[in-house]
Structure 1
C-alpha cells in the first residue's frame, strides 16, 4: 500500500493585530519530502504515530510536506498557497496512491478563508481518484463546519485535553485508514453543533463537566458501531459566524448511528453549559496567595497564551508583581515574556550586567504599552530544548535567543519566539527550577496542568487581559451568530 502523508498545522486567533507569515513556520519547522520521515526525531506527535502504524503494516509512506507554525494571527494567503502548492505538487508526483493521511489542526484561518482545512481536503481530493480514502487528524479545539463532511474523508480528533494523546491520535487515524483499505471498516461521519463557546479553562477531559461527556464518547466507541467520537469545544478566539461546540462521530457504515451519537454528545455538553463556565480570580489575588501561602503556586496568565495565538508579550502580570512588591519578597516569582529586542539587548550586555530594558508589547502594540525595568542579566541561551513533560513529549522547542533577567526576587524568562508554554522546559532550559519559586506564571489556559500539577501546591487561573482572554463574556465578538452561550441568556 502506498500512503501519502502531509501536514499544514497552525491555530489562528482573529483578535491579534498580526498575521502569520512564512517566518512563523520557519521558526518551528517546514519539512519537505523525505525530511518528514526523520525530521520529527523522538517527538510523540501525529505524523510519527501515523508512520509507526504504516511501517508496522508494511505500507509504503509517501512523504509530502509537514509545516508547523504553532498559534498566531491568520495565515497569509500567499504563504498558505506556497505550502499547499508544494504539498499538492509532491502528491501529484507520487500518484498513484492508495490513501492519504493528513495531520491538521482544524482551527487555522486565512486572511480570506475561515475554513482552510476543508480547502486543503478539497484540493487533495481533486488530485486523487474518487474512492481514495483520506484520513485526517484534528486538534480537540478545531472549528468544525459542515463543509468538512466530504466523500471518502474521515476525521479523528484528540480525545484528551490537556493534549497528551497527539501520537495516539496519529496511530488511530492511520489504523482506520488501513482498515478501510482492507475492507474491514466503512467510515461514515456525522456532525452536531450547539451555540456555545467553552472557555479552555474548564474544558478539560480528565476532570470537570466535559469529562462526563468524554466518558460517554469512550463508552460509545466501546459499544460500537461508533469507531471514533470526537468532541470539539473549539478554539474560542475566532470571530466566525458558525463558531460553537461540535461533536463529530465516525461510525462503521451506519450513518444513522453516527447522527444519533453526535446529537447525544452535543446535547450532553449543552446541558452542562453553566457548569462549564471558568473559575477565574484577579491577578492581584493570585499574587497575594502565591507570596503568602506555603508551597508552589502556579498561576495561568490565561489572557496572553501563545498556544491560543497571543504574542506572549503582555506585561500586565509584571506590572502587578511589581505593584505587589514581589521584587522585594523573600521568595522567588517567575514569569515569561516574548520580546526579541529585549533578549538581544540582554545578550549584548552579557551575564552579570545590569541593563535598562523596555519590556513588552513587541507584537501586541495596540494592546498595551511597554514598561521600563532595570535588572541583572542572569542567564543567556539559544532557546532550544526538548519537551519532556506529557503532551508533545520529545518535541524540539525553539524559543530563539533567550535571557533571564533578575529584578530582585522576580525572574523574567525572556524569549524571542512565541511558543507553547505546556512544558516546564520553558523555565528549566534557562536555569530556573519551578520548585525553587513561590509563584510561577504560565501563559497557558489549561494544558500546563499536565506538567505543573505534580509540582504545585495549588493551581490558579488569573483573569488577565489579552487576545486569549478566558472570560468569554469579555471577548469582543462581532460576527459570531447570536444568541450564543455564555454571551447571551439561553
Structure 2
C-alpha cells in the first residue's frame, strides 16, 4: 500500500434560505473558522462529524491529511457578495498544489447574492488552480440542490443517506475511500445526474419513513452492483430559490457512464411516480390543541416547521408561542431573543421578568408576545452534542435563560439553535419527559433530540420562511415547470 498519499480536506458549509430575513455576513462564519492543522485535529478528532470522518478515513488509507479552510454557520439568509468572495478566495488559497487528491465538505444548498450555485463556483475556482485531473471528492448534505456543473467538476459526489442526518461521519470515510482508490488508479469514477423536476419539503424526507424510504432502499439496492461506487439521493432544499432547486440523483460507477445514467434516470422516474406522496399536510393550532387534549400521555411534539432553524428560519416565530403561553398543559419551547436573554442575565436567577418575547425578525414570523414569568436558570449556552447527531461537537446558544411562565417553560437563547441534539436542553437542566407538550422549531431533525421520548407528534401549520406549503412563496428563479407548483403531468 502506498503510504505517501497527500490528501487535502476543506469546506464551507451553509444551507441558504432565499426567503429568510436579513443577510448572512462573513462574521457569521468566523465562530467556526478553522485553518490551522493542529486546531483542526484537536477540534474534530474523535467526533462523528464529516471532519472526524476525514481524519479517520485518511488514517485508514494511510494518507497524510492536509487541512485547508473549514467553516460553517447555521442555515440562514442569502450570503452577501462580499462574504462569498472572501470565503471562496480563502478556501482556494488554503489548498496547496502538491496534493494527490482533495476531499471537499460542502452542503450543496449554498446561495449568495452573486452566485446561485456556490458549490459549483467553488469547484470551478479550485479546478482553475489545481487543474482538471486532480481527484476531487465532495460530500454533500441530503438537502443539497445538486447541479450538472457540480457533477462535471468533481470526481465523485457522496451525499448523506439519512435524515435526520446521523451519517455524515460515515459518508466522509466513504468519500476518502473512493478518493484513495482513485488516486491509486484502482477505480475510474464516472458519474451521471438526473432531476425529476420536484420541490420536496423537508418534512417528507425522513429517510426511515415513506415515501423517502422507497427511494433510499432502491438506491442501496443499486449500490450492491459491484460496478456502482455510490448513489446519492439529494432531496433538495426548496427554500433556495435557484434554477436547480429540488430533488436530484447522482450515480457514480466504475468507468460506465451509460449505466450510471440509466440508474439515475430510473431513480428519477421512481421519484416522479411517488410525487403525490411527497405533498405534506399540517393542522391548525386549534386542531393541535384539540388533538393534544385527547392524548393521555406526552410528550406531544408540536412541530413548528415553518420556523425550522435547521432550514434558515429566524428562530423567533411567535405564532405558536402566543397560543401555548395560555394553555394549561406543562409545555416547553426554545426561542431566540437576544434582548430578553440579556435582560434575564441582568436581572438574575429568581427575579420576575416582564417582557415582549420573540417576533423581532420580521412580521412574517409574528409579533412579540407579552410574557410574565420567573427566571429559573441562567447559562452561557455552551454544550457538547451527546446524541447520534455529530456526537462530541460543541454547540453554543449564547446567553441563555430558562423562564417559567405559568405552565410554560421557555428557553430563551441569544443565538439561533436548531434542536439537533438533546444536550441543548439537558445543558440547561431540562428533562424533556417532564412536559406534556414540546414545541420544536424543526422539520424532522428534532427526532435526534426528542424522538426517544416522543409519544405523539403534530405538524402545526403556521406562516414562516420554511413553510411546508410552497405556494406561500414567490419563486422567481427555479426551473419551471416544477411539481407541486406546476401540477401538469
Q: TM-score range by the shorter chain?
A: over 0.9
* Residue number in structure 2 paired with 1:274: 276
Deviations 1:415-441 (A, max 9, x none): 011132122222221111110000001
* Residue number in structure 2 paired with 1:473: 471
* Residue number in structure 2 paired with 1:45: 49
Does residue 128 of structure 1 match 2:130? yes
Deviation at 1:365, TM superposition (A): 5.0
* Residue number in structure 2 paired with 1:334: 332
* Residue number in structure 1 paired with 2:289: 287
Aligned equivalents of 1:32, 1:152: Cα separation in 2 = 23
Contact kept in structure 2, 1:287 and 1:439, CA below 8 Å? no
Aligned equivalents of 1:386, 1:95: Cα separation in 2 = 36
Please say which of residues 309-318 and 270-279 is displaced more in the overlay: 270-279
* Residue number in structure 2 paired with 1:117: 119
Deviations 1:76-116 (A, max 9, x none): 2222222222222222xx33111111000000000111101
Task: Structure 1 unaligned segments of length 5 or more: list them.
Answer: none
Deviation at 1:291, TM superposition (A): 4.2
Aligned equivalents of 1:152, 1:198: Cα separation in 2 = 25
Aligned equivalents of 1:358, 1:100: Cα separation in 2 = 49
The structure 2 residue matched to 1:105, chosen from 104, 107, 113, is 107
State the secondary structure of the residue aligned to 1:71: coil
State the secondary structure of the residue aligned to 2:354: strand
State the secondary structure of the residue aligned to 1:12: coil
The structure 1 residue matched to 2:20, chosen from 16, 25, 43, is 16
Change (3 A) 1:264 1:445: same
Aligned length: 482
Does residue 57 of structure 1 match 2:83? no
Deviation at 1:367, TM superposition (A): 4.0
The structure 2 residue matched to 1:167, chosen from 146, 166, 169, is 169
The structure 1 residue matched to 2:302, chosen from 278, 299, 303, is 299
Contact kept in structure 2, 1:42 and 1:395, CA below 8 Å? no
TM-score, structure 1 length as denominator? 0.95
Contact kept in structure 2, 1:16 and 1:364, CA below 8 Å? no
Q: 5 Å matches for 1:442-481?
A: 442-481=440-479
* Residue number in structure 2 paired with 1:355: 353
Aligned equivalents of 2:290, 2:79: Cα separation in 1 = 40
Deviation at 1:169, TM superposition (A): 0.8
Deviation at 1:199, TM superposition (A): 1.4
Deviations 1:5-29 (A, max 9, x none): 10111100000121111232234x1
Deviation at 1:287, TM superposition (A): 2.9
The structure 2 residue matched to 1:25, chosen from 26, 29, 42, is 29
Which of the pair is proportionally richer in strand? 1
State the secondary structure of the residue aligned to 2:94: helix
Aligned equivalents of 1:468, 1:117: Cα separation in 2 = 22
Aligned equivalents of 2:334, 2:280: Cα separation in 1 = 23
Aligned equivalents of 1:259, 1:129: Cα separation in 2 = 25
Q: In angstroms, what is the RMSD of aligned CA positions? A: 1.5
State the secondary structure of the residue aligned to 2:478: coil
Contact kept in structure 2, 1:41 and 1:394, CA below 8 Å? no
Deviation at 1:292, TM superposition (A): 4.4
Aligned equivalents of 1:476, 1:152: Cα separation in 2 = 32
Deviation at 1:61, TM superposition (A): 0.7
Deviation at 1:289, TM superposition (A): 2.8
Deviation at 1:284, TM superposition (A): 2.5
State the secondary structure of the residue aligned to 1:394: coil
TM-score, structure 2 length as denominator? 0.95
Q: 5 Å matches for 1:337-486?
A: 337-365=335-363, 367-486=365-484
Deviation at 1:309, TM superposition (A): 0.4
Aligned equivalents of 2:365, 2:277: Cα separation in 1 = 31
Please say which of residues 452-461 and 335-344 is displaced more in the overlay: 452-461
State the secondary structure of the residue aligned to 1:463: coil
Please say which of residues 426-435 and 334-343 is displaced more in the overlay: 426-435
Contact kept in structure 1, 2:61 and 2:177, CA below 8 Å? no
State the secondary structure of the residue aligned to 2:436: strand
Deviations 1:358-386 (A, max 9, x none): 21133335543212221111111111111
Q: 5 Å matches for 1:187-226?
A: 187-226=189-228
